[in-house]
Amino acid sequence: MTTSRRSFITKTAIAAAMAPLASLSTFGQEYEKAIERTPKASPPSNLKITEVKCGYIKGSLFVKIYTNQDLWGCGEGVDAILGTYHLVKNFGERIKGKSPLNVHRLFEDIRKSGFFQGAQSGMYVAVLSAIETALWDLAGKALQLPVYQLLGGKFRDKVRVYCDTALYQRNLPTPKDFAEAALTAKKMGFNAIKFDLDQANDPNKYDRYNWTAGPAELQRMYDQLAAAREAVGPAIDICADMHGRYDAVTAEAIAKRVESLNLMWLEEPIPAENVEAYQKITASTSTPICAGENHYLAYGFRRLLEIGAVDIIMPDLQKCGGLGEGQRIANLASLYYVPFAPHMVASFLGAMASAHVCASVPNFMIMEWQSYFHTQPMFKEIISYDGEWVNNSFITVSDKPGIGVEINEAGMKKYAIPGMPFFE
């Protein structure tokens, strides 16, 4: 008994003596982990822009904004970006040395300083869209938050998309081609599909400069869409794009003719400039009319919404002013109970950037998705993303800091436009 008791006390004393050492060892391990978790860069308040570089691929401008903390942000602009290298460098000089966290302020600095340089639309705003998007990406990385969180949070985790079939009319597709393309998209999991109706080389056109479609051309459009509708049934959304290449008479005629097909919308049947003409067309039909990819900044949508010129708006966030401006446009439309359905012809970087905005507004309807993502290897090579791109007509919005998609300069280089500076 005495021996056992003495042994027990001795062992207890040894254990007690060892306990602080074990605790210290555990503390040391946790301290090391804490050090590893602590950002090595200086505080975000010390973050400064050091350089802006860019590269061009086909219809896209890719911008990369660098900082003094080994962080960078990426953005993309489309369409009105050819020949804008020096504009990118000029904008870069305007924001160099400033904090990228003041996204709205830098946007306004560039926009307001360009009142007499074309800051109302076109190339100026398309390049500014790429810069602004890269600033959001950079701010998100610096603060370790996804862009949608910086925009005020999200209403949804997934963003619905429609598949642009890229069944271009210059190839003279038949109604059977429309039906097959619709079925292919449906089998891929898409529950919404878009087709192009404008056809410059339609043999029934009076001439290439006449914006009026005759009876045979109107019948061709109807037959193509009717074949697609019959192929996929009533539960799949179908929309049609006319690329602003017709007059108001034709727009009213085709909108009335396809009413029985229950389209999701008829897109840009006339050019963008005359919103009063859009109002007349919209009032003449039950087919929803959609426009906006060729309007710039929230100012460009004010009149469109005030007079009820369209049923649905579709700003292109890679050229209308960027992500913050896209959210402002959506919120403006929400005041008029108009759905927000962004146009999107960029890379997956642009698609995910747009998806953050779509998640952040209540009146989001649907976003464009390109079939070339599935057919052209280039689009996989020029970006880095380890998640699923699209599943059953939905994109899951990234929770990673920033946009969540990186550009791959090595992959982009072989597709760069010859003679254009590439991230120099």
Does 334 map to a domain?
A: yes
Residue at which a domain ends, from 145, 166, 189: 145
Clarify whether residues 308 and 379 are in a common domain: yes
At 38, is the secondary structure helix, strand, or coil? coil
Clarify whether residues 162 and 136 are in a common domain: no
Q: Greatest CA separation found in the chain?
A: 116
Clarify whether residues 191 and 298 are in a common domain: yes
pLDDT at residue number 192: 98
Does 263 map to a domain?
A: yes
Query: What does the alpha-carbon distance between residue 108 and residue 380 come to, in Å, rounded to a whole number?
Result: 34
Q: DSSP string spanning 352-402? A: HHHHHHHHH-TTB--EEEETHHHH-THHHHSEE--S-S-BTTEEEPP-SSB
Q: Domain span at residue 285? A: 149-403
Does 4 map to a domain?
A: no
How many CA within 13 A on the CB side of residue 302?
A: 5
Clarify whether residues 387 and 340 are in a common domain: yes
Pairing status of strand 237-241 against strand 192-196: parallel
Q: Which two tokens stand for residue 303?
A: 């009149």
Does 160 map to a domain?
A: yes
Are 424 and 54 in contact by the 8 Å Cβ rule? The answer is no
Q: 257 CB contacts (<8 Å, ≥6 apart)? A: 218, 221, 222
Query: What does the alpha-carbon distance between residue 242 and residue 207 come to, in Å, rounded to a whole number?
Result: 17
In this structure, which amino acid lies at residue 350? G
Query: What does the alpha-carbon distance between residue 139 and residue 153 come to, in Å, rounded to a whole number?
Result: 15
Question: How does DSSP classify residue 229?
Answer: H
Does 421 map to a domain?
A: no
Does 254 map to a domain?
A: yes
Clarify whether residues 214 and 351 are in a common domain: yes
Residue at which a domain ends, from 77, 110, 145: 145
Clarify whether residues 91 and 217 are in a common domain: no
Clarify whether residues 112 and 260 are in a common domain: no
Clarify whether residues 111 and 183 are in a common domain: no
Query: What does the alpha-carbon distance between residue 46 and residue 312 come to, in Å, rounded to a whole number?
Result: 42
Does 13 map to a domain?
A: no
Number of domains in the chain: 2
Q: DSSP string spanning 247-302? A: -HHHHHHHHHHTGGG--SEEE-SS-SS-HHHHHHHHHT-SS-EEE-TT--TTHHHH
CATH number of the domain that residue 71 is part of: 3.30.390.10
Angle at CA of residue 64, ends 371 and 60, nearest 5°: 30
Does 420 map to a domain?
A: no
pLDDT tens sequence for the chain (424 residues): 444 444 444 444 444 444 444 443 444 455 355 445 545 455 677 899 999 999 999 889 999 999 999 999 999 999 999 999 999 999 999 999 999 999 999 999 999 999 999 989 999 999 999 999 999 999 999 999 999 999 999 999 999 999 999 887 667 899 999 999 999 999 999 999 999 999 888 899 888 888 999 999 999 999 999 999 999 999 999 999 999 999 999 999 999 999 999 999 999 999 999 999 999 999 999 999 999 999 999 999 999 999 999 999 999 999 999 999 999 999 999 999 999 999 999 999 999 999 999 999 999 999 999 999 999 999 999 999 999 999 999 999 999 999 999 999 999 999 999 989 999 9
Give the bridge partners for 77, in sequence order: 61
Question: How does DSSP classify residue 59?
Answer: T
Clarify whether residues 72 and 173 are in a common domain: no
Clarify whether residues 239 and 378 are in a common domain: yes
At 53, is the secondary structure helix, strand, or coil? strand
CA 136 to centroid of chain Cα atoms: 13
pLDDT at residue number 33: 53
Residue at which a domain ends, from 118, 145, 172: 145
CATH number of the domain that residue 331 is part of: 3.20.20.120
Clarify whether residues 78 and 213 are in a common domain: no
Clarify whether residues 208 and 88 are in a common domain: no
pLDDT at residue number 60: 96
